[in-house]
Amino acid sequence: MKIPVLFVILTFALVSCYEPNNENQGSKDQVTFNPKFDGLDAFLNYKEKVDQYKNLKSLPSLFYTHFSGYTLQSKVQLTGNNELIKANLEKMDTNGLQTIYSFYFLQEVLSMVTISKSNNKPAAPTQEQIIVFYSAAQNPIGAYRSTSHTQKAQNQGAKTFQSISVTKSLHHQIDQHLQYITEMQNQEGRFELYFQDFDEAFNKKFVQFGNNEFSTNLAFAPNEILIEELQKNPSLYTNKKFHIQHQQIQEASGLSYQVLVSIEKL
């Protein structure tokens, strides 16, 4: 079965600075936003609604590894009408820090971004979450951070979010990872795929594609015609760009990997 590839163009003008108002109110469900801006509950209710949807179409990108060791994978979620409603990007650093960027859209316009960072080191576990809310004009209208430094505080579920400014650094971080999702889904830009090598592991044959920055590995069937050509004459394809359709496999043993479904030379 072929997995379709989504060609999404996500171009949003993010404003680099914001100072929230000084209204001081709390929110429900053991989560406090200080200060709380008018309309916050509508954003949070919409986020909860999206997170509870059961019938969204999910399109994961390939699983990429940076040359320095960290990994990236994105996923976009669509309604039955193919309307983009949510996009995630998960990053795992070599030091165990996991960062998840979640983008929420209303009528395909950016509504809010959550950035969740967690480091589960036994000696000093930490968890940080940043939430930025956007107006229909794509201007930040509220930004908050919550940080906990102990496992006990994380397990209790109660969080206090304090207002922050959307600095140039935070703006760049959001903009960059939103662009990453677009390029990963389209297999373009930093995530263009060129043939690199073959390998074997777990009694499976793998082919590696990528570029000077990112690479990805996929198990393949020996009878794939283009793969056979690559194996016979790899030097003829070293500078050729490819487009790949894939499927993710999770075996009962816990082994997880990607399988090549189809390949096209561009």
Same domain for 261 and 136, yes or no, is no
How many domains does the chain fold into?
Answer: 2
9 in a structural domain? no
pLDDT at 156: 58
Residue 20 lies in a domain: no
Domain co-membership, 137 together with 62:
yes
172 and 243 share one domain: no
In a domain, 22, yes or no: no
What is the residue-level pLDDT of the chain in tens, covering all 266 positions? 332 333 333 333 333 333 333 343 444 457 899 999 999 999 999 999 999 998 899 999 999 999 999 999 999 999 988 999 999 999 999 988 999 999 999 998 999 999 999 987 766 678 899 999 999 998 999 999 998 865 554 555 678 999 999 999 999 999 999 999 999 999 999 999 999 988 888 888 899 999 999 999 999 987 778 888 888 888 888 888 999 999 998 888 888 889 999 999 88
Q: Are residues 147 and 244 in the same domain?
A: no
Say if 23 falls within a structural domain: no
Which 3 state secondary structure label does DSSP give 51?
A: helix
In a domain, 19, yes or no: no
- Residues 176, 74, single domain; the answer is yes
- Domain-embedded: residue 99: yes
Task: Looking at the structure, tell me whether residues 147 and 206 fall in a common domain.
Answer: no
- In three state form, how does the secondary structure of 99-166 look? EEEEEEEECCEEEEEEEEEEECCCCCCEEEEEEEEECCCCCEEEEEEEEECCHHHHHHCCEEEEECCC
Q: Let me know whether 180 and 212 are in one domain.
A: no
Residue 82, in any domain of the structure: yes
Q: Which domain holds residue 43?
A: 31-186
175 and 199 together in one domain: no
Task: Give bridge partners of residue 71 from the DSSP assignment.
Answer: 65, 92
Structure tokens at 80: 């039955």
